[in-house]
A = this chain, B = another copy of it.
Amino acid sequence: MADYRKMWESLGLNLEAHDQLMDILPPTYGTVFLNQENRPEAMEYFDFVFSEVHGQRIQELLDHKAADGKVIGAFCVYVPEEIIRAAGGICIGLCSGADIGTAQAEKVLPRNICPLIKSFMGFKLGKVCPYFESCDMVVGETTCDGKKKAFEILNDYVPVHVLETPHMKREKDKALWRSEVRDFLTEVEGYTGNKITLDSLRQAIKESNDKRRALLRLNELRRYDPAPISSKDCLLIEQIAMYDDVSRFTAQVNALCDELEKRVQESRGVTEPGAPRLILSGTPMALPNWKVPHVIETSGAVIVAEEMCTGLRYFENLVPEEGENIEQLVEAIADRYLDINCACFTPNEGRMKKLVTLAEELKADGVINCTLAFCDPYLVEANRVEKVLKGHHIPLLNLETDYGQEDSGQIKTRVEAFLEMLDK
């Protein structure tokens, strides 16, 4: 690995805290990923990307900035990345998947708050994330109370533009959201100094759609038994999707799919045929949060879909590419994003329908609904999930967890009991 200390220093990172993080990540990665059996060879690219998570990609961002490009961070799959790229910017999904800078975060946030929110504040105040420190601006949204209000505080440290995601999906909400996306385009143009053209927007939409198509192709291959790839590897890919170069990433996912198609033909998979097949649903699992999939897959089951923001919600809908002017394309973008099934909406029936359809299509034996602690939208919606799945006789296990490792044993016990109950 190249020596990136000077680069980190130039970003103002707290090198000591950053070293601690970088000391933990590789061994954890080894245990969770490299120890897997029958892993596809094309995972090599993603292993490399992860090994360079604070290295090569950061250098690319800094090169982009040196050429007067802007880097814009986001914390939610509702942020329309097409618009940022159409203005020559790079959109980075900031991860917030580890307990970092907790003491600093708790100086400005309540103790009992969603770990993802505490994490992003900790990353910022602790100065340990080179992505965060590379961002010229952050785009927030109003999807949940905790983030909505925490962005007011974050704005003390980095400029935050907040998109108002509505609470419902009626025509008037769609109108509000379209107006938010239109205003965002103007904001991004002003911020980057680059006018968005019909061509640049169309090109950005196509690139994002290509990425989504590649991820959909990958997910489509998981319907086979034995599943040709683990959920852990898919989750990693979905996490990397949020910060990697779009075209390069897309090409690599497609190369992986080529390999997986051969595996399917040969009936080769990551488990024995007949292993219990589960759908993992719930709140996002931001990098490097792999705890629950690791517990599930080392318990003998295979996860065949992530009905999560780090998963299907990120790529399941495409933006129609046919718009004849910028206005039409912007509306198509807005409508595509409003279709995402987030628990921030009331009601959120799309998610219930999706879970039932997925379970049927993927021949899943059950659903694990995993929610981050203190996340009211998903924790309360767990009741709706339970009601709908019970109505369809689909077994469900509800889990609530955070970024600590203390509950791994307890989760394993519950997952194993759930698998036994499935009687596979």
Contacts and interface: CB of A to CB of B under 8 A. Distances in A.
Contact of A176 (B176, B377, B382, B383): B176
A4 B92 CA distance: 64
Contacts of A162: 346
A71 B148 CA distance: 34
A343 interface: yes
A258 interface: no
A47 interface: no
Nearest to A347: B152
Number of copies of this protein chain within its complex: 2
Given A164-B173, A176-B176, A400-B110, A149 B374 contact: no
Interface string A361-376: 0000000000001101
B343 A149 contact: yes
B146 A376 contact: yes
A153 B374 contact: no
Contacts of A164: 166-168, 173
Contacts of A381: 149, 152
A142 B346 contact: yes
B110 A380 contact: yes
A145 interface: yes
B108 A383 contact: yes
A113 B384 contact: no
A380 to B, nearest CB: 4
Interface in A177-234: 179
A380 B167 contact: no
A304 to B, nearest CB: 27
Contact of A172 (B151, B179, B374): B179
Interface residues of A, number: 40
A287 interface: no
A150 B380 contact: yes
A186 to B, nearest CB: 14
A112 interface: yes
Given A145-B377, A172-B179, A383 B109 contact: yes
Given A164-B168, A173-B164, A149 B113 contact: no
Contact of A149 (B112, B148, B172, B376): B376
B149 A377 contact: yes
B346 A151 contact: yes
A344 interface: yes
Interface in A75-107: none
A162 B150 CA distance: 25
A374 B384 CA distance: 21
Nearest to A170: B164
Contact of A380 (B146, B379, B382): B146
Nearest to A168: B164
A144 interface: yes
A153 B113 contact: no
Contacts of A109: 380, 383
A383 B152 CA distance: 9
15 contacts: A109-B380, A112-B373, A142-B168, A145-B377, A146-B376, A148-B167, A149-B377, A149-B381, A151-B346, A152-B346, A152-B381, A153-B383, A164-B173, A172-B179, A176-B176
Given A146-B380, A148-B167, A166-B166, 15 more contacts: A109-B383, A110-B376, A112-B112, A112-B374, A142-B168, A145-B376, A149-B343, A149-B377, A149-B380, A151-B346, A152-B347, A152-B380, A166-B176, A176-B176, A374-B374
